[in-house]
Amino acid sequence: RIMDDIAAYNIPVFNFPNSEDEDDEETVEENAELRAMMPFAVVGCEEVINEDGRPVRVRSYPWGVVQVDNDEHSDFDRLRYVLLNSHIGDLRDLTQNDIYELYRTEKLSGNTIAGAAANDAASAQQSMSSQPRAVAV
């Protein structure tokens, strides 16, 4: 259901490569597994408890405790591995070739959201200052 909403609202997400020609069998299998896991469920926490003499990062809820590093509770470890190890090159390429180039193009052309908002605000202020003002008594 969530992936249907992501597609319906055209929310950009990283698509793990699916090229058997360029990647080895293990990489293709891993990417298929990662695509099946999407969207990832990530839990954050600020609490650490001792369980069996070792520290465990948890988030407490009225119904129980969620362990951040437990693969049955959260995809945090898997996502961390993907982002920092197995797909770091893809992340760098995406950041450089797509995200940064889009930002650079917008900055050079002056078509930024902040710039458009500032222009709209300035024209609205100019429009208001040119209109006669009425004073209520």
In which band, very low, low, confident or very high, does the pLDDT at 135 lie, cut at 50, 70 and 90?
very low
The pTM assigned to this predicted structure is 0.57
Using CA atoms, how far apart are residues 65 and 25, in angstroms rounded to an integer?
A: 38
Q: Which two tokens stand for residue 134?
A: 């009425």
Identify the top-confidence range among 15-29, 61-75, 87-101: 61-75
Whether the link from the prior residue into 39 is cis, omega within 30° of 0, is yes
**pLDDT at 17 > cutoff 50:** yes
Task: Look at residue 124 in the predicted model and tell me its pLDDT.
Answer: 47
